[in-house]
Amino acid sequence: MKKGKVYLIGAGPGDIGLLTVKGLKRLRKAEVVVYDFHLNAQILNYINHDAEFIYAGKRGGHHAMTQDEINQALVDKAKEGKIVCRLKGGDPFVFGRGGEEAEVLVQEGIEFEVIPGVSSSIAAPAYAGIPLTHRKFSSSFAVITGNEDIAKQESTIDWSKFASGFDTLVFLMGVKNIEAIARKLIEHGKQQETPVAVVRWGTRPDQKTIISDLGNIAGMVKEERIRPPAVMIVGNVVTLRDTLKWYEDKPLFGHRILITREYTSEYEPLEDLGAEIFEFPTIKVVPPEDYTDLDRAIDVIESYHWLLFTSANGVKYFMQRLLERDKDVRDLHGIKLCAIGTKTAEAVRKYGMKVDLVPGEFNAEGLIKAFCPSEAEGMQGMRLLLPRAGAAREIFPQRVRELGGEIDTPVTYRAVKPEKHGKRLKRFLKEGRISVATFTSAATFTNFMEMMGEDAMECLQNATIAAIGPVTRKAVEKAGLTVSVVPEEATVKALVDALVARLQDPAY
C-alpha cells in the first residue's frame, strides 16, 4: 500500500503572489486538501480538481470542523495512502496550530513536512509601508497573540517585558481585545502617545490602514468599524508609513477584477498596477465528442490550400489530433497558414511553423477581405480548412461558399460549462468586493449567468462590466445589463488596456 504523507503549507496572507514556489509544487500533487477560510481561495484553482477538498475554516466564530476533527482527518487520509496538504493562511507555525497538528502526526507515525508561508505579522505591516525594524527606530520586534482572554487570572503574556523589552510589537487576532491590549501596555510602561497602526485585510484590495496612538486607537477602531482579520502594530516604526506607503498608492489599488476565463500573462498589467484578479472560468475547453469530421479532413490534409486557426486552442487540439493520426508538420508542406490574432500566431510558431497571414480585422468581414480582395474574382478553386470550436458562428464559412470557395469546418474542441461552485464569488459580488467583471465571449457570460442562478442579476448590479467585443456586449445587454468597456480590438490585451484606461480615468 502506498504510504501517505502530510504537508503543512502556509498559503500566505492573501496576495496570491506571496504563496511560495515550493508550496505551489506540493499543492499540485495533492490528493486531499484540508483548507482554512482566511486564505485566498484563488489558490485552489492551481490544485488538481480530482483531489478531495475538505473545508475546515472558521468565519464569524463558526467552526466548520473542530481541531480534533481536523487532526483526525489528516491522520485518516494519510493512512489511506494519500498525499494530504493542510493549507493554512499565513504561516502554519505562527498561531496556526501547525505545531499541534504535527505532534499528532508524529504520534501516529505519519511522515510530514512543513512548508512555511509568509506571515501576516510581517506582510500586513510591509504592505502598509511599516517596516518592523529600522536602524533609527527599532532593533527588535515581538509577535503576540491578541485573542487571549485578558481577564483570566494567569496570562501567558508577560506584559511588563513586552512593553519595555521590544521596540515594535505586532498583535495578531487582537481587534476584539484592542481596548484591553492598549490599556495593559500603558499600565506597564508604554506611553499613551506611542504610535499604533491597525491593518485590516493586509495585502488584499480590501486593505484598510488606520493610524493613531495607544491612548486613542480603541476609539478609532470602533469609529472606523474595523473588524477581523486585522494586524496591530505598536511602535515608532509606524511613523514611517507616511514616507514608505506604496501598496495603497498603486493606480488600481482597491480593485478586484473578475475574469471568466483561465488566467494568462496578458492580465499581469492589472496586477502590476495594484488590482487583484479573481479567476472564475465559466468555460472549460475539452476535445470534441466525435472526431469523424476532423479525422476525415486530416486524412486529406494535402488537398487544402489554406489552414485557418482562430484561437490558440484550435492550434493545440488540431496539432494533437494530427499527431495521433500518425502525421506531423511535414504533412502540412505547401499549405498556407492563417492565424487570427497575435496570440494564435504565437501558438502556431511554437510548433515550428511559419504564419503566412494575420488579418488586420478579426471578424468575418476582415477575413473575407484578406482572402478575397475583389468579390468579382470570387474564391473559385480555393479550398480552406477551418478547425474550430463547436457551435461556432457560420458567417465566414457561408460567405466563402457564396464566393465559390470550399471550406470544411470540423469541430476540433468544445467549450463547455465547468462544474464549479460560486459561493464565495456570489458573496464577493453582493458585498461589492468585486469592482469589475470581464467577459471574453458570449459563452463566458451565458455560463456565468447560469452558474450564478437566480442571483445572477443582483451579483452584477454593483460591478463595471467589460466585454471583449460587440458580440459579447450584445449578449450582456440582451440580459438587461450595461457594458461600460469594449476595446476597439477583440483581444485580451486590448481589453486589459481599455480597462486600465477606464479605471484610471478621473471621471470613473
Active site residue 58: yes
Q: Which residues contact 273 (CB under 8 A, 6 or more apart)?
A: 250, 251, 252, 500
Nearest in space to 6 (alpha carbons), one of 90, 63, 87, 65: 87
Q: Which amino acid is at 97?
A: R
- The partner residues of 200 in beta bridges, in order of sequence, read 208, 230
Nearest in space to 287 (alpha carbons), one of 260, 310, 314: 314
Active site residue 173: yes
Active site residue 3: no
Nearest in space to 170 (alpha carbons), one of 123, 237, 239, 232: 232
| Integer angstrom CA distances of residue 12 from 65, 123, 229, 293 | 21, 9, 14, 49
The answer to whether 267 touches 277, Cβ cutoff 8 Å, is yes
What b-and-e string marks burial along 222-236, b requiring 16 or more CB atoms within 10 Å of the CB? eeeebebbbbbbbbe
Cell of 396: 465566414
Nearest in space to 179 (alpha carbons), one of 214, 127, 142, 227: 214
Q: Which of 15, 91, 173, 451 is catalytic?
A: 173
Q: Which of 58, 222, 474, 478 is catalytic?
A: 58
Q: Which residues contact 56 (CB under 8 A, 6 or more apart)?
A: 34, 35, 36, 64, 65, 69, 70, 73
Q: Which of 15, 36, 88, 184 is catalytic?
A: 36
Residues annotated as part of the active site: 36, 58, 173
